[in-house]
């Protein structure tokens, strides 16, 4: 039986109550339908409880058989209330999941609901098989996904689907209109990054020694960044700041190169940043601090050319219909605005985002080669940013 989860008032965890005790709650309306809560398809109690703690309310079903009818019935009988997201365990056969995904995409109302596959427990080979054969909007590992990251990712997927743009994994042929020649681009990335990593190994060693001699702390700066389709990955750079520099952002907000707005997109950049070390200043002025991102390119997290991957606090402000399109392009070491506006302290947030969106909508391999050819002249910047 499909169940509805409601918070327990005596704080003993979520309790399962029959669907007939469903209570309507106020949610934002979109096209006369209300979206809220979750629908989980599977048996993993721990994952259900995690979703309950995140969304407070939702449905769960152990199988796919009755979910279609249940969703259609909810459109008519529950005051037009439908789930904000549908998550399905990757334990059903490919055909069943694919058919369900197609059912959602073809429905005029349900098509805006993100359909996410929970890949927890799958190995790399199995993951690729499910990605290839089931066509979800996204695949996540629910047990490793923080609540905040999960909600932000779902919000991004909903915005993209509602605007008519393809979600990151759905309909790959349509998605690739944003990135013609994906195989050529990927092959080029692997070839160039692997050769560069071998040739630059001695330089990596020298830079590492210089960083370690000047200041205490790790050689590499590793941070979570959001790339294409809001995929979160570990981003690598040579460390150019003193340790714990990220903790001082609040103290330096008044120096932000970009105007600080209470709402809307947020970027953070400081001219002559006092947190930067002497070696770090040299690395930044020559862009040598970016070299470790060749590992990201080789691993497939990034491309040589694309939109810059963003810190999570910045990416979280770019999930509206107007801005989310910039995440349809791959994350890149260099890109359109880096070539055109590198070091320009007068560049506005809107100008930067518009160039990201322009690249995402028009990028192709020829454009990438043009950007790469023009990158060397933009590498040496006069200001310390």
What one-character-per-residue DSSP string does 158-225 give? HHHHHTTPPPSSSSHHHHGGGSS-HHHHHHHHHHHHHHHHHHTHHHHHHHHHHHHHHSSS-SEEEEEE
State the chain's mean pLDDT as an integer: 76
Q: Please report the pLDDT score of residue 80 as a whole number.
A: 60
Most confidently modeled of 6-15, 117-126, 147-156, 272-281? Answer: 117-126
Who wins on pLDDT, 95 or 313?
A: 95
Task: Match domain 3-170 to its CATH number in 3.40.50.2300, 2.60.40.420, 1.50.40.10, 3.30.565.10.
Answer: 3.40.50.2300
Reply yes or no on whether the pLDDT at 242 is more than 90.
no
Query: What confidence tier does 206 reach under pLDDT thresholds 50, 70, 90?
Result: very high
Reply yes or no on whether the pLDDT at 251 is more than 80.
no
Reply yes or no on whether the pLDDT at 341 is more than 80.
no
Q: Please report the pLDDT score of residue 66 as a whole number.
A: 81
**31-35, 80-84, 308-312, 335-339: lowest mean pLDDT where?**
31-35
How many Å apart are CA 278 and CA 213, to the nearest integer? Answer: 11
Q: Please report the pLDDT score of residue 190 as a whole number.
A: 95
Q: Where are the domains of the chain?
A: 3-170, 182-379
Average pLDDT over residues 371-385: 66
Average pLDDT over residues 93-97: 90
- Which one, of 21, 18, 14, 22, lies nearest residue 1 by Cα? 18
Q: Please report the pLDDT score of residue 41 as a whole number.
A: 92
Average pLDDT over residues 138-167: 74
Tell me the percentage of the chain whose pLDDT exceeds 90. 18
Q: Please report the pLDDT score of residue 22 as a whole number.
A: 33
User: Are 337 and 347 a contacting pair, CB within 8 Å?
Assistant: yes
Reply yes or no on whether the pLDDT at 319 is more than 80.
no
**Burial status of residue 173 (CB atoms within 10 A of its CB: 0-12, 13-18, 19 or more):** exposed
Determine how many CB atoms are found less than 10 A away from the CB of residue 16. 13
Q: Please report the pLDDT score of residue 112 as a whole number.
A: 84
Query: What confidence tier does 142 reach under pLDDT thresholds 50, 70, 90?
Result: confident
Who wins on pLDDT, 160 or 24?
A: 160
Q: Please report the pLDDT score of residue 197 as a whole number.
A: 96
């Amino acid at each position: 039986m499909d169940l509805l989860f409601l918070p327990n008032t005596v704080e003993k965890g979520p309790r399962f109550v029959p669907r007939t005790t469903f209570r309507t709650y106020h949610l934002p309306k979109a096209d006369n339908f209300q979206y809220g809560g979750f629908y989980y398809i599977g048996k993993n109690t721990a994952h259900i409880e995690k979703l309950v703690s995140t969304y407070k309310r939702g449905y769960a079903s152990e199988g796919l058989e009755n979910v279609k009818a249940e969703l259609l019935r909810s459109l008519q009988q529950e005051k037009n209330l439908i789930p904000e997201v549908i998550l399905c365990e990757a334990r059903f056969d490919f055909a069943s999941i694919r058919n369900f995904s197609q059912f959602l995409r073809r429905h005029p109302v349900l098509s805006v609901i993100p359909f996410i596959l929970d890949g927890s427990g799958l190995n790399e080979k199995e993951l690729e098989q499910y990605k290839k054969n089931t066509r979800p909007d996204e695949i996540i590992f629910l047990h490793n996904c923080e609540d905040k990251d999960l909600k932000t990712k779902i919000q991004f997927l909903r915005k993209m689907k509602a605007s008519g743009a393809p979600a990151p994994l759905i309909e790959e042929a349509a998605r690739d209109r944003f990135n013609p020649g994906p195989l050529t681009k990927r092959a080029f990335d692997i070839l160039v990054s692997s050769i560069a990593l071998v040739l630059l190994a001695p330089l990596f060693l020298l830079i590492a020694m210089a960083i370690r001699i000047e200041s205490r702390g790790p050689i590499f700066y590793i941070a979570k960044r959001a790339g294409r389709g809001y995929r979160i990955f570990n981003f690598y750079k040579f460390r150019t700041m003193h340790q714990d520099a990220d903790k001082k952002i609040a103290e330096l907000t008044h120096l932000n190169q970009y105007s600080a707005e209470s709402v809307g997109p947020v970027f953070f950049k400081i001219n002559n940043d006092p947190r930067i070390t002497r070696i770090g200043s040299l690395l930044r002025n020559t862009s040598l601090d970016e070299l470790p991102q060749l590992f990201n390119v080789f691993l497939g997290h990034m491309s040589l050319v694309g939109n810059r991957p963003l810190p999570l606090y910045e990416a979280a402000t770019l999930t509206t219909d107007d801005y989310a399109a910039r995440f349809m392009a791959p994350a890149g070491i260099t890109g359109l605005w880096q070539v055109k506006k590198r070091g320009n302290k007068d560049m506005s947030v809107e100008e930067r985002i518009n160039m990201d969106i322009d690249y995402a909508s028009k990028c192709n391999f020829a454009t990438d080669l043009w950007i790469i050819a023009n990158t060397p002249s933009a590498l040496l910047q006069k200001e310390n940013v």
